[in-house]
Structure 1
Amino acid sequence: MPAADDELTVMAQEELDAACAMPFIEVKKITPWGDSYEGFAPSGRTVEIERRYIWAVEPKGGVIVEVEVRDRAARTGAEARALLTAA
């Protein structure tokens, strides 16, 4: 089992992969947008997961996708980020 911080990093990357799986045309339709929800880490602890879709210098520049996974009780977290473009 990964260490606590590694677990959050892995979760953030997995959530980012899922957030980026949507076709770019669909991502553009929901940008700007964000949400957060409570989930569970593989170790069973409660975490907060937040996704953000932000314009990267207006629509022609693409969309920045950010995911943050936080363990509020432990005051730790991890973030992953990607730039999506039409090409």
Structure 2
Amino acid sequence: MHDAGRPPSGGCSRRKPPATDGTSASSTGTNPTSQVCSTCGVLDGPKPLNVRTWTCGACGTRHDRDLNAARNTLAAGRTSKMQRDAAQP
């Protein structure tokens, strides 16, 4: 008898993401996105988690920690996609 509450072996983890070309991007956790200035690219170094805003020592841009990390993550994703697109025949 089949258990209706349990997905078949493999489940959702082997399905393509909806509305995409089947590729996905992931962060390895090694890119310090909240420590790099999204304006000039300088690595400003680690900060305690309670520091929510910081000013880049190189260019003087004031950053919200989460927004800066999001900008850096988006830029990395766009770069990765451009590299994949350029590598395809």
TM-score band w.r.t. shorter chain = under 0.3
Q: Which has the higher contact order (CA 8 A, sep 6+)?
A: 1
Task: Give the TM-score of the pair, scaled to structure 1.
Answer: 0.27
User: Which structure is higher in strand share?
Assistant: 1
Tell which structure's C-alpha radius of gyration is larger: 2
